[in-house]
Every structure is written in C-alpha cells, then in structure tokens.
C-alpha cells in the first residue's frame, strides 16, 4: 500500500484518479486549491465526495496570489473561450505556473504527513495547450522535488498518456458515478456545454456511448 496525496479538483479526471488510488487500495489524502478561479463550484464538489468517502481533504486558500495570476480567463475578467481544448483560443485558460504552484504545495504536504507520492490528473488532451501537463514537465518537477527535499517524493500522472475518453472508460469499468464531478469553467448552476472543458467531457461520454449524468444549460 502506497501513501498518496492526490491533487483533487473535483473534475472528472482527478475524480477518476482518486478512485483509481482507492480501488488499488492505496492510502489516500486529497488536496484542493482555491486560487481565485471562477469555477469555485468544483471545490464544493470535491468536499462532498471526500466527506462521503471519509477521505481527508485539505482545501488550501491561495486566493491571495490571484493578483499574480493575471491574464487567464479562469481568474481574470476575461470571457471564457468556447470551443475545443486544442483550439489556440484555449490558451486564454492557462493560469501562469498553476501546476508548479499546486504540486509544490502538494509535495510539501506529502512530506509533512509522511506520504510517499503526489498524483495529478494530466492527460494527452491537455498537452496541446497546457505546458505543465506534458511529460517533460512531469519529469522535470520530479527531478526538482528530489533536489529540493531530503525526502524523495515521487510525482506521478498516471493518465498522462491517455485521452479523456480512455480515462472515462477506466472510470466506467470501476462503476464510478460522474454526477459527483464538475468540469465546466463557468461554474454556474448548470454546465455551459460550450467551454473547452465541457466540449472535451461531452466528447469522452460520446466515445464511450454513455450519457453524461450532469445537467447542461444547452
């Protein structure tokens, strides 16, 4: 049994990831971040899941650094772009250095509670737009973690070579309930169905010939 800190956003990728860790009978602790994102609804979704499954969850408020994260549609007064993740317009959703910040804090948390690994939910659909979801970044942050600490914390992204459709397939094989997830960048009562995150999610369900259980405003 490995002791794993999962960076858990409440989205379908990290939801599948945390359930995979539980399915494989690892000891799991979760960490989520309030960085001033518009879609804060994901945090309440994360809290609800962890509470119902008796998983320790640390929700870390780093919203004070929001003035340092300007220029992203997720944190600034910029319209959320519509379309597919791979469209160049989706670069507007990049939050400067986000995964570096979050994973660094997750590593520190893992050390403080004597855990061994940090997992996050990067996948192939992220590679085109998000540099901090690419294999090169994963390798680099692992090397940096080992240089920065006496403890050797391994950072893993088990889905980094999988598509969102393949991730969903794994989750469906585990009989996961995806109504317990939130993906939309808009963070309103219902998912918009038009932002990159929603479009890719809907594609994944279509590829698996399965209906998405959440409600959309479209």
What are the domain boundaries of the chain? Answer: 3-207
Segment among 99-103, 125-129, 147-151, 180-184 with least mean pLDDT: 125-129
Asked if residues 35 and 65 have their Cβ atoms less than 8 Å apart, the reply is yes
For 21, other C-beta atoms within 10 Å of its C-beta total 22
Asked if residues 21 and 4 have their Cβ atoms less than 8 Å apart, the reply is yes
Reference 122, options 131, 110, 114; nearest CA is 131
CATH of domain 3-207: 3.40.50.620
Q: Give the model's pLDDT for residue 133.
A: 86
Q: At what angle do helices 164-173 and 12-23 cross, to 10 degrees?
A: 40
CA distance 182 to 33: 15
Segment among 67-81, 94-108, 172-186 with least mean pLDDT: 67-81
Query: What are 145's two structure tokens?
Result: 């973690």
Say whether pTM exceeds 0.85: yes
154-213 pLDDT, tens digit per residue, is 999 999 999 999 999 999 999 999 999 998 988 788 999 998 889 999 999 999 999 999
Average pLDDT of span 105-126: 95
Average pLDDT of span 113-138: 89
The strands making up 3-7's β-sheet, listed across from edge to edge, are: 56-61, 27-34, 3-7, 117-119, 154-156
């Amino acid at each position: 049994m490995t002791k794993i800190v999962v960076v858990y956003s409440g989205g379908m990728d990290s939801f599948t990831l945390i359930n995979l860790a539980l399915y494989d009978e690892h000891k799991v602790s979760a960490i989520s971040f309030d960085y001033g994102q518009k879609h804060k609804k994901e945090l309440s979704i994360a809290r609800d899941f962890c509470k119902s499954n008796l998983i320790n969850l640390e929700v870390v408020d780093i919203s004070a650094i929001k003035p340092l994260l300007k220029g992203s549609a997720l944190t600034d007064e910029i319209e959320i772009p519509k379309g597919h993740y791979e469209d160049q317009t989706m670069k507007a959703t990049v939050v400067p250095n986000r995964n570096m910040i979050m994973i660094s804090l997750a590593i520190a948390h893992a050390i403080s509670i004597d855990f061994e690994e940090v997992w996050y939910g990067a996948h192939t659909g992220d590679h085109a737009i998000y540099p901090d979801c690419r294999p090169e970044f994963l390798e680099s942050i692992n090397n940096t973690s080992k240089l920065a600490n006496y403890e050797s914390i391994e950072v893993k992204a088990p889905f980094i070579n999988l598509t969102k459709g393949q991730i969903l397939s794994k989750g469906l094989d585990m009989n996961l309930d995806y109504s317990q997830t939130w993906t939309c960048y808009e963070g309103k009562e219902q998912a918009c169905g038009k932002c990159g995150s929603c479009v890719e999610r809907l594609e994944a369900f279509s590829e698996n010939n399965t209906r998405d259980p959440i409600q959309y405003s479209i």
